[in-house]
Amino acid sequence: MFTYIGSIIASFMFFWAIFQQYFPYQLRNPIEKYSQRLLTLVYPYIQITFHEFTGERLMRSEAYSAIENYLSSKASTQAKRLKADIGKNNQSLVLSMDDHEEVAEEFNGIKLWWASGKNVMKSQSLSLNHMTDEKRYYKLTFHKFHRDMILGTYLNYVMKEGKAIKFKNRQRRLYTNNGSYWSHVVFEHPATFQTLAMEPEEKETIIDDLTTFSKAGEFYARIGRAWKRGYLLYGPPGTGKSTMIAAMANLLGYDLYDLELTNVKDNTELRKLLIETSSKSIIVIEDIDCSLDLTGKRKKKKEKKEEDEEKDHRKKQGEEESDGRSSKVTLSGLLNFIDGLWSACGGERLIVFTTNYVEKLDPALVRKGRMDKHIELSYCGFEAFKVLAKNYHRIESHPLFGTICELLKEIKITPAEVAEHLMPKSSSGDAGLYLKSLIQALELAKEEARLRSEEDARKTEELSKQDSHWTENGFVSHSS
């Protein structure tokens, strides 16, 4: 009997392969169409597939994410193979179904089944890293008699519960790009605006601006603009630009996407990365003036004596491009990334650029409408120093504060340098020792500045005397 059944199955598979391979599409299409109709008469169940990505892997499906969260409790009690991730504040594990697992559920007396699946396809592009494209999905199966109940009440219930579970277990993440894909770690930076060393008035202005933005979804929709806002943070190194970004993320509860432009192959890949970012996020490009040739300095013709060097440079650049390591992201592509049509995919996003040299940036990159708010993070003032003193030594006043206040008015020093002098280096905990160390550093910087000023004045005087001497000699020679 088994031999007979096996031969029937083998014959059927043989004829089916011949049919798929050699019969024309015009003939196969109606046969497959009517065979599916015949199957529905015998098979009374309906299946709905929810794919992880929509639009050719351009955006992660919110429905898939909600279902994944909803099924986490079901999976922990029924599935035999589970996936685990760290939950909010590293306090618990969040479990989900592994690939090709199935769980059953009963809703208002209706029996239904959820199954997880994965399609694996090899990448067609040639690269050193052989990557596979994995497309995951969830499949819901239920009796066709309950179609209206499932499509209406049940799926709305699943979406609502899934989003609530996601918010409850949400662990904020710090993403970085590897080619056209994001990878992440848990974001645990402790910086807040309370611990940020800057002037209180400016700090409150920034907090109000961020809070207003996070609640302005209806306003942006009414005026016809994408719900996003650009921030340009500029100032000398060590003034707290990265710390400011962490404080912004902690204030709003947003995820962070640290975009490394040199790892992006071209403008198409840049758009793909943008689309895969989630709402309630901050997209950061640090040191934008150093990331790529995006400073707005238009390419000029090289002098003839530099032609050989230029040829060598182009040769090396061509070798890098052939290896797939060079970036072809252009200024136009970055501008479209910031406020083009694709930037409206999703909402409630901040785009933050940082730079030490704002004058190097192309005006088109930092104009209002792209970088809406420009924030200068400058040298440490007395109010910023008091915040650092409170953070490091829990003191709000000290007899040495007056001396430090007068010195900070004369000397330019970054908050990072001040923090280094206040950093506890022994178990004594005597704040006065660290304040005296800071005063010594400020007095030394003041003395060095005075010596430089005297040296510059001396050189200026010598040059002035030389110019006067040359002018006088030239006048005498012309007269004779």
State the residue for tokens 């006088």: 472
pLDDT at position 249 is 94
Model confidence pLDDT, tens digit, residues 263-291: 888 888 888 888 888 888 999 999 988 87
More confident residue, 355 or 289: 355
> What CA–CA distance (Å, rounded) separates 173 from 167?
13
pLDDT above 60 (res 300): no
pLDDT at position 172 is 84
Q: What residues contact 401, with CB distance under 8 A and at least 6 apart?
A: 386, 389, 435
Phi, then psi, of 228 in degrees rounded to 5: -150, 160
Give the chain's end-to-end CA distance (angstroms, integer).
129
Residue in 383, 439, 452 with CA at minimum distance from that of residue 415: 383
pLDDT above 90 (res 13): no
Mean pLDDT over 383-395 rounds to 92
pLDDT at position 324 is 46
Q: What residues contact 391, with CB distance under 8 A and at least 6 apart?
A: 195, 197
Q: Please indicate, yes or no, whether the overall pTM of this predicted structure exceeds 0.75.
A: no
Residue in 368, 365, 440, 425 with CA at minimum distance from that of residue 392: 425
Q: Grade residue 350 by pLDDT with cuts at 50, 70 and 90.
A: very high
CB 240 within 8 A of CB 342: no
Mean pLDDT over 18-31 rounds to 72
pLDDT above 80 (res 349): yes
Q: Grade residue 403 by pLDDT with cuts at 50, 70 and 90.
A: very high
pLDDT at position 478 is 45
Count of residues making up the chain:
480
Model confidence pLDDT, tens digit, residues 86-117: 666 556 677 788 888 888 999 999 999 999 98
190: Cα within 13 Å, side-chain hemisphere: 2
Q: What residues contact 70, with CB distance under 8 A and at least 6 apart?
A: 158, 161, 162, 165
Mean pLDDT over 352-356 rounds to 93
> What CA–CA distance (Å, rounded) separates 368 from 56?
33
57 dihedral zone (left: phi>0; alpha: psi -120 to 50; beta): left
pLDDT at position 7 is 86
State the residue for tokens 């550093």: 441
pLDDT at position 384 is 92
- Directed axis angle between helix 155-169 and helix 62-78, to 10°? 80
Mean pLDDT over 248-268 rounds to 90
